[in-house]
Amino acid sequence: MLALETAIRNAGETAYGVFANHGRWMVWNTVLALIPLGLALRLFRVGVVRGVRWWLGVAVFIAFLPNAPYVLSDVIHFFDDVRASRGNHDLRVAFVIVPIYVAFMVIGFGSYVVSLDRVRQFVTRIASARSATIAVVVLHALSSVGVFLGRFWRFNSWDIVTAPDSLANRLDDLMHRWPIAMTGLTFVSLVVLTSLADLLIDGVRYRRRGGFAA
């Protein structure tokens, strides 16, 4: 009984430590990651009128979309928390730190996956499946650049409006070896992870339609 109480207390202390150190930016990054999802649900739906306001909404969607996969780069903080964990190290990592970060990343990256799925369905409906694939690939590429700009150069989505000169001055640097390597790696990661998530979603949809019946 004493051991259980100690384990619970240690788990609580570890969770409190994670939220005390990272809670503010985790909540903020989660909100930013959910913005493109909200926009996607609003913009890419049946019967929407594609006027000036719609195109402005699409521009905002594209600007904020990188915030969703950006949460994956926050894994660096996970490793810091693992190294800082003391006492029952394995238990704290497995039952406190890992669940917190998994939930955080699932919400953020899930927003990205669902947003792109909405884009794919919408473009397929108004154009073609090939156009939808091209649109998704372009969004992957733009998101890869956005993640790099945010993680390494600390730009935000709204800097397109609030600090366009600073952003424009750094764009030429994207052609250097390091930015190309990192954006390329991010692009491949997004394509692979999104494809895996799509397979999972398609499997769930198929099962709900009565597939995999015994």
Cα angle, residue 192 at apex, residues 185 and 33 outer, rounded to 5°: 80
Question: DSSP assignment of 126-149, as one string?
Answer: HT-HHHHHHHHHHHHHHHHHHHHH
Q: Amino acid letter at 189?
A: S
Task: For residue range 102-132, list pLDDT tens digits in order.
Answer: 999 999 999 999 999 999 999 999 999 999 9
Task: Give domain status of residue 208, yes or no.
Answer: no
Question: What is the C-alpha separation between 164 and 160, in angstroms, rounded?
Answer: 5
Percent of the chain with pLDDT over 70: 86
For the chain, the distance separating the N- and C-terminal CA atoms, rounded to the nearest angstrom, is 45
d(CA 4, CA 14): 15
CA–CA–CA angle 56, 59, 60 (5° rounding):
90
Query: Is 71 within 8 Å of 108 (Cβ atoms)?
Result: yes
Buried b (16+ CB within 10 A) or exposed e, 196-207: ebeeeeeeeeee
Q: Is residue 61 part of a domain?
A: yes
Beta-carbon contacts of 46 under 8 Å, excluding residues fewer than 6 positions away, are 125
Structural domain containing residue 92: 2-201
CA 27, CA 179: separation in Å to the nearest integer?
A: 28
pLDDT at position 14: 62
pLDDT at 63: 97
Number of H helices, E strands in the chain: 10, 0
- Return the pLDDT at 214: 44
SS3 content of the chain, % helix, strand, coil (to 5): 85, 0, 15
Residue 214 covered by a domain: no
Q: Are 37 and 111 in contact (CB under 8 A)?
A: yes
- Mean pLDDT of the chain, nearest integer: 88
Asked whether residue 211 is domain-assigned, the answer is no
Q: Which residues contact 64 (CB under 8 A, 6 or more apart)?
A: 32, 35, 36, 39, 157
Whether 194 has a pLDDT exceeding 80, the answer reads yes
* Structure confidence by residue, pLDDT tens digits, 84-93: 765 555 667 7
Q: Is residue 38 part of a domain?
A: yes
**If pLDDT is split at 50, 70 and 90, which confidence band does 139 have?**
very high
Burial of residue 89, with CB atoms counted within 10 A of its CB: 0-12 exposed, 13-18 middle, 19 or more buried: exposed
Residue 212 within any structural domain of the chain? no
DSSP 8-class letter at 72? G
Residue 209: inside a domain: no
CA-wise closest residue to 25 among 67, 82, 86: 67
Q: Could you give the number of structural domains in the chain?
A: 1
